[in-house]
Amino acid sequence: MRSFIVKRVLLGILVLFGVILITFILTRVIPSNPAAQWVGQRATAEQIEAAKIELGLDKPLYVQLGRYLADLAKGDLGRSLRSHQPVSAELRAYLPATIELVLVSTIVAVIIGIPLGVASAKRKDHMVDHVSRFFSVGAVSLPTFWVGMFLQLIFYRWLELLPLGGQLSMSIKLTHEIPHITGFLMFDSLITGNFVVFKDALAHIILPGITVALYPIGLVARMTRSALLEILDEDYIRAARSYGLPERMVLWSYALKNSLGPTATVVALSIGYTLVNTFLVEAIFSWPGIGSYISSAVISLDYPAIMGVTIFSACAYVVLNLIADVIIALDPRVRV
Amino acid sequence: MGEYFKIKDLRVGFKTFEGHKNVLDIDTMVLNKGETFGIVGESGAGKTVLALTILRLLSSPPAVIESGSILFNGEDLLQKPESEMRKIRGRHISMIFQDPMSTLNPVFTVGEQIIRVFRNNKRISRKEAEKEALGMIEMVKLPDAKNIMGKYPHELSGGQRQRIVIAIALSCGAEFLIADEPTRNLDVTIQAGILKLIAELQRELGVTVLFIANNLGLVSAICKRVAILNAGRIVETGSVREVLKDPRHPYTLTLLNAIPRNKGERVNRVNTTIKEERDRDLRGCRYYSRCVEKREVCRDSEPVPGLILGTHWVACHRAFEGGEPGGGQHTEG
Amino acid sequence: MTKSPGIINSIKPRIREIRLSLYLLGRNRLTRLSLGVVILLVLTALVAPFIVPYPEHIEAETNPVDKLLPPSGKYFFGTDELGRDIFSRVIYGTRISLQTALIAVGLALLIGIPLGAIAGATGGMVDEVIMRITDIFLSFPPLLLAIAIAAFLGPSLENAMLAIAVSWWPWYTRLIRGQAVSIRERQFVKAAKAIGTPPARIIFGHIVPNCIAPVIVQASMDIGGVILTIASLSFLGLGAQPPTPEWGLMVSTSRNYFLNAWWYSIFPGLAIFVTVLVFNLLGDGLREILDPKTRKI
C-alpha cells in the first residue's frame, strides 16, 4: 500500500515535470515569436534582437529550460504581454471567482449526479434508466457555451428572473461594502453576515453554476451507474438480499459504498474538466475568473497569460487526480 | 404428513441470443421439516441456479422461470410478489453462499454486517443486536469474538470468513437454510470443522438444511437423503445409504469413484471434457455422450424416474433393463 | 501477404461475436435510433451543397435587406446579421464539422497507432519512454491542451484540427499498446520472428492489422467529443474563421445579437448538441455492446 502511494506520488511529480516541459516546448518550438510580441507589432529588427537577449532567447535551449524552471519554482509565470503585469499576480486575482464557480458546480453535480446514476442502475433497461442515461449522455454532449446563452435568453431576457452576468449587481457594488477576507465572495459575505451581498452573489452564480455543472452531472451519473451495475452483480449483494435486508439498504448502503472509489475518482477528474469548461462559460457570463482571463488572452495572443493558465490548470488536474488515487489507496478496505 | 418444502415440475432456462437453454428441469423434490437434504452434482449442473431460484434471486434476464411451483409451508414461492418474497428471505429462508470472500461486503466490518441483519429481522436496538452478534460469532466457534467483530473481511482467513458467512445466514433466524457448497474453497481440515459446525447447528436449532455439494463424500457425512443432479435433472435420489450401497445411475457411480477412500488409492476423475452442452439439446438422456453404458434408446427418449426400492429412485434406461418394476416402460418423448 | 493461421483460427468465435453484437444492437432501441441519425447526418454532409436553399449564403455573400429576420417560410431558421440564411449555413455546417472531426481523429490515429504498436511490440525501455510520454499528455484536462496548442499555432481550422490530434493521440496509443502486448506472444508473431521477418514488417504487417479493430471502434466513438471540441475552439476564436459556416463560430458571432434574435444562436447550438448527442449515444451503446462484462449472457 505504502509503496503504491510512493510510486503514485513519484509518477505525479514526473507527470508535473512533463507538463511543464510540454508547455515549455510549446512556447519555444512552435513558430510563434515571443520577442516580437514583447516589443509590439511595429518593432525594428534590432529591437527584436534586443528583446531576444532581454528574454534570454539567445541562450541554448537547456539554459532557457533551466531559467524557466527556476522562475516557475519561484512562482514566476512571466509577465503579461498586454498589461506587463506578472501573470501570477493576475491569476491570483482572478482565481477565487473561478474556484467558487467550480466548487458550486461540483457540489451540484454530486448532489444530482449520484442519485441519477443510482436510479439508472436500479432500474436498468427500464424507462427510468433510459431517461437518466439519455440525460447524462445529453449533459456531456451539450456545448456549454451555448447552454449559457440559452439560459440567459430564458431567465434574463424572457422571464426576467436572474441577472445576465457578472458576480454582483452594479447597484449592490456601489451601495454596499463588499467584504474581502478570503477573496471568495459568497463565503466572505456569509461569514461577515452581509446577506444582501450574499443573496445577490447567489442570484448571479445560479446560471453559470448550472451551465458548468451539466457536464460533471452527466459524468458522475454515468460513472455511478456503471460502477453500481458491476457491484450489483456481486455475490455480496445477492447475499445481502438473501438475508432479507431491505432493498433501500442494499442499494444505498451496501452497493453505493462500494462504488464510492470510482465515483470519487471521476469527481476529481470532473473538477479538471469543469475548470476548463469555465473557460467557455465565464466569458459568456462576464464572470471575473481565469476563464475570462484566458479568453481575452487568446484573442490578443497574450502567450505568457495563456501559458500561466495552462500550467496552473494542468497542475491542479494532476494534483487532484493524485489526491483521489491516494485517498482510495489509503482506505484499508479497498483491495488495490 | 404435510409436505414442508416441495418442488414440482420446475423448469428454469437461460434466454440467450442463440436461443433458449434449459438449465433446470426438476420433476419432484421434497424436503421434510428438520432434515438435511443433499444435492450433489458437478459445477454447471444447476445447483446454484436451484438455490437462487428458491430465493428468487436469479437475475432475469437472462434467467427465465418457465413453469412449476416451489411450495414452502404450503405457499408457492414462485407466485409471490417481490415485496412478500423479501419478507421470506432471511426471516424464513436464508443461504450460505459458496465463496465467503465475495459473499462478505468488503467495505463493512463483519460485526456491522451481522448487526445489520439482526436489526433488520428482529427489530431490536443496536446494543442488543451487538450482544446477539457477539453470541452468534461465539456460536460458530470463532475465538475472540469481540476482536473479530471489528475486522474487515479481508483481514480474516478463509475458514474464519466461512464461519462468519454461516453466522450471518443464521442471524436471520431462518428455519430453512440453503448451504451452497459451503466448504468449496477450504482446506480439508477446515472443511471438516465447517461440516461439523453445520451438523451441530442443525441439531441445536432444528433448522432444515438443503446442502449442496459437488462431492458425494461430503453429503454422506451430513445428510440422510440425497439427490444427484446432472445437467439440471435429478438422475438418482434416495436415502444416502440406499444410493451409496446400490448406485444405479452411471453418473452416480462416476461420482462415487471420485471419492478418495484410502490413502494412496487412485481416484477416478469425473470426465468433464465432453461438452454436456450437446446433451441438453438432445431429446434423450442428458448424460448420453459421457455415459459408458449408453444404449440406442438413451439418445432418443428421456429416461423416466423409476422406483428401485424404498425411497430410491433412478432415471436411467439401463437400470431397468431386466424388466424390473418402475419406469422401464416409457413413452416416446 | 498470406493469411496467418492465427487469423483463420479466430474466425469461428468471431462470427459468434458478431452475431452477439448484432443481437445486442437489435435489443437497444436508443442505440439503433442514434445509428439512424448518424447515417442521416453523414448523408446530409455529403449532399449539403446541393440541398441547401441558399447556397450563396454559405460563404460571405451578404443580403442586408433581410438581416436578423426571425424564422419564416422563406428562411426556416431566420437570418443572421448579414442577412444570410441560417438554415443553409447550419446544414452546410454538418459537412464542416464531420469533415474536420474525421481528419482530426485520423491524424490522431496516425500518431497514436504506430507509437502504441511500437511500444507494445518492442517492450522494455522503448515501451517505458513512449508510455510515460503518453501519461504526461493524458494528464492535461482534455480541452486545455488543445486550447494551448491552437493558441500557439495561430487561429485557423487547420490548426485546430492539428491541436486536437496532438491532444488526442495518447488515448489510441494506450489502447493499441495493450492489444499489441497480448498479440506479441501469439504463435503467428513468433513464427514470423523465427523466419527472420524484419521488426517493422512484424509490427505493421502482423501486429497492427490484428489489433486495429478496437481502436477504430474507439475512434468512431470519439467523433462526438471531437466535434464538440472543434466547436468550442471555434467559439473561443481558435478554430474556424469567418465567413466559414462552422457551428461554434456561428454561436460565437451570435453573442452580440442573440438577446434580440434568439434563433441566431439557438439553431447552430442545437445542431452541435444533436450531432454530438447521437454520436455519444451511439458510442455509449457500442461500448455497452462490446463490453465483455455486459456481454456475458
Could you read off the pLDDT of A156-178 as tens digits, one per residue?
A: 888 988 888 888 887 777 777 77
For residue B318, give how far its alpha carbon lies from the nearest alpha carbon of chain A (Å): 40
Q: Looking at chain A, which subunits does it touch, using at least 3 CB pairs closer than 8 Å as the criterion?
A: B, C
More confidently predicted of B27 and C294: B27
Put simply, the answer to whether A249 touches B90 (Cβ < 8 Å) is: no
Put simply, the answer to whether C281 touches A137 (Cβ < 8 Å) is: yes
Is A336's pLDDT higher than 50?
no
Put simply, the answer to whether B106 touches A246 (Cβ < 8 Å) is: no
> What pLDDT score does C1 carry?
41
Is B21's pLDDT higher than 60?
yes
Residue with grid cell 451543397, as numbered in its chain: C49
Given a contact cutoff of 8 angstroms between Cβ atoms, the answer to whether B176 and B208 are in contact is yes
Given pLDDT bands bounded at 50, 70 and 90, which one contains residue C182? Answer: confident
Dmax (CA) of chain B: 67
Residue of chain A whose alpha carbon sits nearest to that of C273? A142
Is A105's pLDDT higher than 90?
yes
Q: Which residues of A touch C31 (CB under 8 A)?
A: none
Range with the lowest mean pLDDT among A25-39, A79-93, C244-258? Answer: A25-39
Average pLDDT over residues C12-16: 69
Q: Reduced to 3 states, what is the DSSP secondary structure of residue B208?
A: strand
- Read off the C-alpha cell for B322: 431386466
Q: Which residues of A touch B121 (CB under 8 A)?
A: 243-244
Express each pLDDT in C134-143 by its tens digit: 988 888 887 8
Q: How much of chain B exceeds pLDDT 70, in percent?
A: 87
Given pLDDT bands bounded at 50, 70 and 90, which one contains residue C103? Answer: very high
Q: Which residues of C touch A313 (CB under 8 A)?
A: 141, 144
Given a contact cutoff of 8 angstroms between Cβ atoms, the answer to whether B289 and B276 are in contact is yes
- DSSP conformation letters of C141-199: -HHHHHHHHHHHH-SSHHHHHHHHHHHHHHHHHHHHHHHHHHHHTSHHHHHHHHTT--H
Cis peptide before B62 (omega within 30 of 0): yes
More confidently predicted of C172 and C1: C172
> What pLDDT score does C79 carry?
85
Average pLDDT over residues C29-42: 89
Mutation site, B105, B123, B136, B162, interface A, largest A CB count within 10 A: B105
Euclidean distance between CA atoms C216 and C222, whole angstroms: 10
Average pLDDT over residues A248-262: 85
Given a contact cutoff of 8 angstroms between Cβ atoms, the answer to whether B45 and B25 are in contact is no
Q: How much of chain A exceeds pLDDT 70, in percent?
A: 91
Mutation site, A15, A145, A278, A320, interface C, largest C CB count within 10 A: A145
Is C109's pLDDT higher than 90?
yes
pTM reported for the whole predicted model: 0.79
For residue A191, give how far its alpha carbon lies from the nearest alpha carbon of chain C (Å): 33
Express each pLDDT in B187-220 by its tens digit: 777 788 888 888 888 888 888 999 998 888 888 8
Mutation site, C235, C258, C272, interface A, largest A CB count within 10 A: C235
> What pLDDT score does A99 carry?
92
For residue A178, give how far its alpha carbon lies from the nearest alpha carbon of chain C (Å): 30
> What pLDDT score does C10 carry?
52
Put simply, the answer to whether C23 touches B62 (Cβ < 8 Å) is: no
More confidently predicted of A184 and C168: C168
Euclidean distance between CA atoms A132 and B263, whole angstroms: 62
Q: Which residues of B touch C20 (CB under 8 A)?
A: 17
| Domain C23-290 top-level CATH class | mainly alpha
Query: Of A23, A130, A146, which has the smallest distance from its Cβ to C272's Cβ?
Result: A146
Residue with grid cell 491516494, as numbered in its chain: A326
Q: What is the rounded radius of gyration, in angstroms, for the C-alpha atoms of chain C?
A: 23
Cis peptide before C268 (omega within 30 of 0): no
Helix boundaries (H) for chain B: 47-55, 82-88, 100-103, 110-122, 126-139, 145-149, 158-171, 188-205, 216-222, 240-245, 250-257, 277-281, 296-300
Question: Do the bridges between strand B176-180 and strand B93-96 make them parallel or antiparallel, or are there none, so unpaired?
Answer: parallel
More confidently predicted of B283 and C118: C118
Is A101's pLDDT higher than 60?
yes
Is A212's pLDDT higher than 90?
yes
Q: What is the DSSP letter of B326?
A: S
Range with the lowest mean pLDDT among A47-56, C47-56, C278-287? Answer: A47-56
Given pLDDT bands bounded at 50, 70 and 90, which one contains residue A137? Answer: confident
Euclidean distance between CA atoms C77 and C96, whole angstroms: 19
Query: Of A22, A130, A277, which has the smallest distance from its Cβ to C136's Cβ?
Result: A22
Assess C231–A contact: CB distance below 8 Å, yes or no.
yes
Assess C188–A contact: CB distance below 8 Å, yes or no.
no
Query: Of C136, C269, C281, which has the smallest distance from its Cβ to A15's Cβ?
Result: C136
Query: Of A243, A257, A258, which has the smallest distance from its Cβ to B117's Cβ?
Result: A243
More confidently predicted of C57 and C258: C258
Put simply, the answer to whether B121 touches A333 (Cβ < 8 Å) is: no
Given pLDDT bands bounded at 50, 70 and 90, which one contains residue C297? Answer: very low
B211: which strand partners?
B38, B179
C176: CB partners within 8 A, 6+ apart: C112, C113, C116, C117, C120, C208, C211, C212, C215
Put simply, the answer to whether B90 touches A243 (Cβ < 8 Å) is: yes
Query: Of B117, B120, B152, which has the smallest distance from its Cβ to A333's Cβ?
Result: B152
Euclidean distance between CA atoms B165 and B178, whole angstroms: 12
> What pLDDT score does C37 carry?
93
Is A202's pLDDT higher than 50?
yes
Residue of chain B whose alpha carbon sits nearest to that of A236? B103
Assess A248–B contact: CB distance below 8 Å, yes or no.
no
Put simply, the answer to whether A279 touches C248 (Cβ < 8 Å) is: no
Is B279's pLDDT higher than 80?
no
Range with the lowest mean pLDDT among A223-232, A298-307, B14-23, C196-205? Answer: B14-23
Domain B3-92+174-320, what architecture? 3-Layer(aba) Sandwich (3.40)
- What's the mean pLDDT when you consider all of chain A? 83
Put simply, the answer to whether C139 touches A318 (Cβ < 8 Å) is: yes
Q: Which helix (H) or strand (E) holds B312?
A: strand B312-314
Assess A244–B contact: CB distance below 8 Å, yes or no.
yes
Assess C295–B contact: CB distance below 8 Å, yes or no.
no
Given pLDDT bands bounded at 50, 70 and 90, which one contains residue B140? Answer: confident
- Read off the C-alpha cell for A174: 456601489
Is C223's pLDDT higher than 70?
yes
Is C105's pLDDT higher than 90?
yes
Assess A334–B contact: CB distance below 8 Å, yes or no.
yes
Q: Which residues of A touch B154 (CB under 8 A)?
A: 333, 335
Given pLDDT bands bounded at 50, 70 and 90, which one contains residue C82? Answer: confident
Given pLDDT bands bounded at 50, 70 and 90, which one contains residue C7? Answer: very low
More confidently predicted of C101 and A168: C101
> What pLDDT score does B260 carry?
61
Put simply, the answer to whether C265 touches A146 (Cβ < 8 Å) is: yes
> What pLDDT score does A38 carry?
64
> What pLDDT score does C160 carry?
93
CB under 8 A, 24+ apart: contacts of A231-235: A231/A255, A231/A258, A231/A259, A232/A121, A233/B59, A234/A258, A234/B102, A235/B97, A235/B99, A235/B102, A235/B103
Q: Which residues of B touch A332 (CB under 8 A)?
A: 152
Q: Which residues of B touch A258 (CB under 8 A)?
A: 105-107
Is A211's pLDDT higher than 90?
yes
Is B272's pLDDT higher than 70?
no
| Domain A95-301 top-level CATH class | mainly alpha
Range with the lowest mean pLDDT among B278-287, C154-163, C171-180, C284-293? Answer: B278-287
Q: Which of residues 55-74 of A touch B (CB under 8 A)?
A: none
Euclidean distance between CA atoms B158 and B161, whole angstroms: 5
Express each pLDDT in A39-62 by its tens digit: 666 667 777 777 777 666 677 778
Is B75's pLDDT higher than 50?
yes
